[in-house]
Amino acid sequence: MDTRIAVFFQVRAQALVAVLQELVYAPAGTFLGAAVVAVALALPAGLYGLTVNVERLTGGWNRGNEVSIYLHRSVTDQAGRRLAANLAREPEVVAARYVSPNSGLQELARSGHFGNTLALLPHNPLPPVIVLKPRNALSAQGLSAFITEIRTIPDVATVEADLKWVQRLQAGLVVVRRIGILLAIALALAILVIIGNSARLQILNRRGEIELMKLVGATDGFIRRPFVYTGALQGLFGGMLGWLLLALGESALSFPVAHLAHLYGNRFTLHGPGLAGILDLGGVGFMLGWLGARIAVGRHLGDIEPAQV
Amino acid sequence: MIEFSHVSKHYREGHEAIRDLSFRIEREEMVFITGHSGAGKSTLLKLIARIEQPTRGQVVVDGKNLTRLPRRHIPSYRRRLGVVFQDNKFLHDRDVLENVGLPLAVRGTPASEIRKRASAALDKVGLLARAHAMPITLSGGEQQRVGIARAIAHRPDVLLADEPTGNLDGDLSDTIMDLFREFNEYGVTVIIATHDRRHISRLQKRAFMLKDGALIEDRPWDAR
Ligand SMILES: Nc1ncnc2c1ncn2[C@@H]1O[C@H](COP(=O)(O)OP(=O)(O)O)[C@@H](O)[C@H]1O
Ligand SMILES: [Mg+2]
């Protein structure tokens, strides 16, 4: 059993060494495949990064967006205060202030816009209100979900919040993200085809050698290995190269973007792919390369039999 | 034990290369296959190596029916064979020693063991000095000897050789035939296709004579 395990690792290590040697002696082919993978991965990843940054930029724009919760007129001041205190304890909420009809009328009077007209009213037309300040980090979606929840409280008559434009932007981002996903799928398929085709060409080039290997009793797995390793390495290098493209893009844009934000009095800075992104893109490239080569080799290896030896 | 029963082979665009062939070769036997060019010698060897499949009849080796051998069992079957063919194929980016070691490499033999056994096989065919040459730099005769070394490096149970001395001059071809006989004496079943009847009388072994794909003579040497 020990020798079996040793053989398992040995044949794989030998194949990997052969592939790496080939790569060192003839890097051009590998680089070309890797460059194609790099662009195909960087495009959707860049689009995704764009949506993340836009979302971060607009996330802060909920700031100062107060939510007005109008209660039924029948609700007593005591009940209103209790509700406000309860709401203030919710994780989505920074502060909740109860404004009774009377104090509302006083605030209105102090604002001075209405002059004497308020004094002429036969009775106070204002309902009890809770003014609620949501947490900044809350997304528009989270906020609207929270508001829907508030509407179900029996004492609540209506809720008013200026969410429309944020919701539109969020919906727009969802569309862009969907496009990114479709693009990613299309380009992933393209990577499979491109890596698969390069594996197919290598197989045709080495037809005679494959026939010879089959003749001396090589299993399909043994013959397949170098081609699959080559595809996986192309994918891995392609993913790392794609990360490099994104990082370069970020460093080219980060200063102008920060400057622009500064002019608008904003401290926004661009978020790039980050060091961990090299693992994500490299990993995705590796798997696509492995899969593309594996499928192509599986399809074409069966056609080659040592009939003409 | 290799047994053909009523084997015929019809190539897709060609006439019948083997016709209703039946014979039995015991373990540790040595057999020559002779006949004119196009008689079907190579086809017969390819049927044993499971490179070709018969159109009719059955080829059974050590109880295994090759016509029904599942695809995934072909590699392990072929590892028991040593095969020398007329046009020798090589891995052109590997040196002679690595080419000879290929049948060992495909079964995961440790590298040091591969080097040792491949060197021993090259020594037997008198080419140890060329171990690190590239195959393309060898003459036709040298390539043939490298092919023979490759066929014996992994100590096969059955050795199949198609005109193994075709490119070699008299003395060298005798040396190679003696090597095959030596292998046979160690217990390897040896089947050699050749049109050179001189070897048959010199080594005094069983011989098949094929004519247009049919077996017209199968005699042990003693019966002559
Ligand atoms: N791959 C093939 N396709 C079609 N015909 C073939 C093929 N291989 C051999 N033949 C034919 O089969 C017959 C026997 O060939 P072969 O076995 O090579 O004979 P030998 O080795 O005795 O010269 C010949 O007529 C040859 O032309
Ligand atoms: Mg022939």
Q: Are residues B49 and B101 both part of a single domain?
A: no
Write out the residue range of the structural domain in which residue B94 sits. Answer: 88-155
The reply to whether A204 falls in a domain is yes
Q: Are residues A54 and A82 both part of a single domain?
A: no
The reply to whether A8 falls in a domain is yes
Q: For residue B106, how far is the Cα from the chain centroid?
A: 19
Phi, psi for residue A204 in degrees, rounded to 5: -65, -40
Tens digit of pLDDT for each residue in A209-223? 899 999 999 999 999
pLDDT of residue A309: 43
pLDDT bin (cut points 50, 70, 90) of residue A20 is confident
Our count of domains for chain A comes to 2
Phi, psi for residue A91 in degrees, rounded to 5: -65, -25
Out of B74, B75, B89, the one facing A309 most closely (by C-beta) is B89
The reply to whether A235 falls in a domain is yes
Q: Are residues B51 and B121 both part of a single domain?
A: no
User: A299 C-alpha to center of ligand 1: Å?
Assistant: 29
Q: Are residues B44 and B19 both part of a single domain?
A: yes
Check CB contact of A215 with chain B, cutoff 8 Å. Answer: yes
pLDDT bin (cut points 50, 70, 90) of residue B221 is low
Q: Are residues A94 and A116 both part of a single domain?
A: yes
Write out the residue range of the structural domain in which residue A105 sits. Answer: 64-135
The reply to whether B170 falls in a domain is no
| CA-to-CA separations, A101 to A129, A137, A229, B63, in angstroms, rounded | 8, 31, 75, 101
Strands (E), chain B: 2-10, 16-25, 30-35, 56-61, 64-65, 81-84, 158-162, 189-193, 206-211, 214-219
Q: Are residues A70 and A38 both part of a single domain?
A: no
The reply to whether A281 falls in a domain is yes
The reply to whether B176 falls in a domain is no
Tens digit of pLDDT for each residue in B34-76? 999 999 999 999 999 999 999 999 999 999 999 999 989 999 9
Tens digit of pLDDT for each residue in A217-268? 999 999 999 999 999 999 999 999 999 999 999 888 888 888 888 887 777 7
Cβ contact, residue pair A209, B91, below 8 Å = yes
Higher pLDDT, A122 or B188: B188
Check CB contact of A303 with chain B, cutoff 8 Å. Answer: no
The reply to whether A151 falls in a domain is no
The reply to whether B115 falls in a domain is yes
Cβ contact, residue pair B106, A217, below 8 Å = yes
A224: closest chain B residue by CA: B106
The reply to whether B6 falls in a domain is yes
The reply to whether B131 falls in a domain is yes
Ion ligand 2, residues whose Cβ is below 5 A away: B 42
Q: What's the CA gap between A198 and A109, in Å, rounded?
A: 79
Selection from B20, B18, B16 nearest residue B6 by Cα: B20
pTM: 0.73
Complex ipTM, two decimals?
0.90
Burial of A88 per CB tally in 10 Å (0-12, 13-18, 19+): middle
Region for residue B40 given its phi and psi (left: phi exceeds 0; alpha: psi -120 to 50; beta: otherwise) = left
Phi, psi for residue A171 in degrees, rounded to 5: -60, -40
